[in-house]
Chain A
């Protein structure tokens, strides 16, 4: 007991970083257990960058491709593949353009229940020189508390992810 009292500051000094590690572990794993997104979303994968408005538009909750730009092939619309992402099971299901057109879509970045799709962080460096940048190869479903990595259908390294809209129920 006297030993603890005598070295209280030292024990406190060592305990604080350990407590933070535990806190980080809890903040990563605990909120994800209670993460309950309500909406699925539609996304596309293409070997070319897809620009919303230039290549597609959501009009009256329906997806419409810009045929003019797809005709000359500038933006690579022909190789575009559509997927529905199930946010609960973390799975993707490929659908045709015709099927995608039948969906009721919400083009807002944030879903009604407060989720959005964001890029991951790319941490690099060596102690004590660390730096972080955006990781365009990883994507997350994120709300104000926590985030979950998306398991997207990537068939090649050249695939570009493009979020189209939240699927309305």
Chain B
């Protein structure tokens, strides 16, 4: 399988390098002969760039169907194996899970070789990413007790596999799988380290979610000017959401509230709103506005519902919500449209 990936990757990269070099050489010669002008090159570039955007939009709709299809195939395998789990032997289980995952991966690579079938390779990669963890679990379950140590091993193996696949085949879907398996590795390995220590309670999850979310946002930002830019939306969506949810939950509720997180939270929300303008991101603006509303309701219910009375507290929260709505509308109109 490794030889197959390497040979395919090498062939693809050489093809692109050769074509690009030839093309640039041709442009150079045409410019020297004054057959082509800078404006014409710029126009061609801009048209190509717009075409890429249009193609990307079309691809997104088709992509959803591919992903749904891949997930349904996975569910089919999962249910089939699950229903007959007790009657199946180790070999059959291994073939139905690990074997199916490997086959789906190879089929994906083969489909990606022809530009007519290249897009169909995505659901096969998805099937492999969903089925291979179960296949590895079947292997490890047969030889040792499955705990967070084994989960770390499975996610680590898959992270290396998909990172390697990306570096060789240069497909964004492998970056996505690497991020997902990397996140799994982070959670399972830290769970493995903490064991059953009582000092690592639910807040441990909240802090780790906070870290993962910041990582997602940074990854999204670093991808924004690269070939991985289609992943930016996904990373911002989960990154900002995870960050604001975990920070809000760390504030807890009276009488166990954490003053630090309750006080810092509005600063974080306004930071997100500020970034929405800087990064021109509607995702930042939407999550920022929604979580500002959530924070207003939380603080009103926590501290003012007893003093002001619940109906009056609702009136105050309602007015503040109108203010947030207006701010959302103004920011979107002024900076993002």
Contacts and interface: CB of A to CB of B under 8 A. Distances in A.
A, B in one complex:
yes
4 nearest A-B pairs in the assembled complex, by CB-CB distance? A120-B196, A13-B218, A9-B222, A127-B184
Interface string B174-207: 0000000011101111110111111111100101
A25 B193 contact: yes
Interface of A: 7, 9-10, 12-14, 16-17, 20-21, 24-25, 28, 118-123, 126-128, 130, 132, 135, 138, 140, 142, 146-147, 149
B222 A16 contact: no
Given A10-B219, A10-B222, A25-B193, A127 B199 contact: no
Instruction: Point out which of A13, A128, A132, A149 has the most chain B C-beta atoms below 10 A from its C-beta.
Output: A13
A118 B198 contact: yes
Interface residues of B, number: 33
B191 A130 contact: yes
B129 to A, nearest CB: 13
B71 interface: no
Given A20-B208, A21-B186, A147 B218 contact: no
Given A9-B218, A9-B222, A13-B219, A132 B211 contact: no
B221 interface: yes
Contacts, number: 85
B199 A147 contact: yes
A123 B208 CA distance: 15
Nearest to A122: B196
Contacts of B151: 126-127
Contacts of B184: 127-128
Contact of B197 (A14, A20, A28, A127): A28
A122 B148 CA distance: 12
B187 A121 contact: no
B215 interface: yes
Nearest to B181: A127
B205 A121 contact: no
Contacts of B292: none
Nearest to B182: A17
A114 to B, nearest CB: 14
Interface in B135-176: 148, 151, 155
Given A121-B197, A123-B148, A142-B199, A16 B218 contact: yes
